């Protein structure tokens, strides 16, 4: 003989489930809140460590919840990497370099940024292949190709800076920067798209 039933109707079962959920939440609300905050920060591309008051940006990695990437997630990763503008991102890097002209540190920053941009380029290629295979030639493919061109522009700008910093002396580099001859200074800026 089995144990007697605790709940005889669907309404009793749902009420019991609700009361159990409430008691669980009251006991564990701090842990649940911290876990949700960490998930939110990771979704935004920020680290969970906020000991100094401001969240630390992470290297943008795309770990989508779905099986495949989307054009929006690719654009979001690009914008979180650039902090919403290619020109301001590179201007900040160059101004940091000019304040303390240590070429090796600047080259390391450019190389690391170039690696991240290349990872985004690989993701864009895989997204292009997915969209082409599943939907054929359509507006989605056009959006992916536009994002790919924007990522290629970022890669080209970083390669241009890296080439000039390695081949020019500091004065030559500053002259090119001040006369606005770098590729990112002459091309349109990579900024967030109005609506994808």
Q: How far is CA 100 from CA 140, 170, 171, 174, in A?
A: 44, 11, 14, 13
Q: How far is CA 34 from CA 16, 37, 174, 181, in A?
A: 26, 5, 47, 48
Please state whether 188 falls in left (phi above 0), alpha (psi between -120 and 50) or beta: beta
* Phi and psi torsions of 46, nearest 5°: -115, 150
What does the pLDDT read at residue 57? 52
What does the pLDDT read at residue 52? 53
Q: How far apart are CA 74 and CA 103, in angstroms?
A: 31
Joined tokens for residue 20: 């159990």
Between 13-17, 100-104, 110-114, the lowest mean confidence (pLDDT) is in 100-104
77 or 168: which leads in pLDDT: 77
- Tell me which DSSP letter residue 180 carries: T
The tens digit of pLDDT for each residue in 80-103 reads 899 889 999 999 888 888 887 788
Name the pTM for this structure.
Answer: 0.63
Round the average pLDDT of the chain to a whole number and report it: 84
Which residues are paired to 57 by β-bridges?
46
The tens digit of pLDDT for each residue in 26-48 reads 999 999 999 998 888 887 766 55
Cα angle: 128, vertex 120, 81; to 5 degrees: 135
The tens digit of pLDDT for each residue in 117-143 reads 999 999 999 889 888 888 888 888 898
- For 69, residues 6+ apart whose C-beta sits below 8 A from its C-beta are 62, 123, 126, 127, 130
| Collapsed DSSP state (helix, strand, coil) of residue 57 | strand
Domains of the chain by residue range: 1-58, 71-186
- For 68, residues 6+ apart whose C-beta sits below 8 A from its C-beta are 127, 130
Instruction: Give CA torsion, residues 138, 143, 149, 150, to 10 deg.
Output: 180
């Amino acid at each position: 003989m089995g144990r007697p039933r605790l709940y005889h109707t669907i309404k009793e079962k749902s009420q019991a489930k609700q009361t159990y959920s409430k008691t669980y939440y009251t006991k564990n609300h701090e842990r649940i809140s911290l876990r949700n905050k960490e998930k939110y920060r990771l979704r935004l591309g920020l680290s969970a460590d906020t000991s100094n008051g401001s969240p630390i940006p992470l290297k943008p990695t795309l770990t989508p919840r779905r099986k495949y990437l989307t054009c929006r997630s690719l654009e979001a990763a690009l914008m979180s990497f650039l902090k919403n503008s290619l020109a301001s991102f590179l201007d900040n890097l160059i101004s940091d370099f000019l304040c303390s002209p240590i070429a090796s540190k600047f080259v390391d920053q450019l190389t690391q940024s170039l690696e991240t941009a290349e990872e985004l380029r690989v993701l864009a290629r895989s997204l292009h292949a997915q969209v082409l295979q599943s939907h054929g030639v359509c507006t989605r493919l056009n959006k992916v190709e536009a994002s790919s061109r924007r990522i290629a522009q970022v890669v080209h700008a970083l390669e241009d800076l890296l080439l000039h910093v390695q081949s020019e002396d500091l004065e030559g580099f500053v002259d090119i920067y001040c006369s606005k001859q770098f590729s990112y200074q002459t091309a349109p800026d990579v900024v967030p798209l109005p609506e994808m």
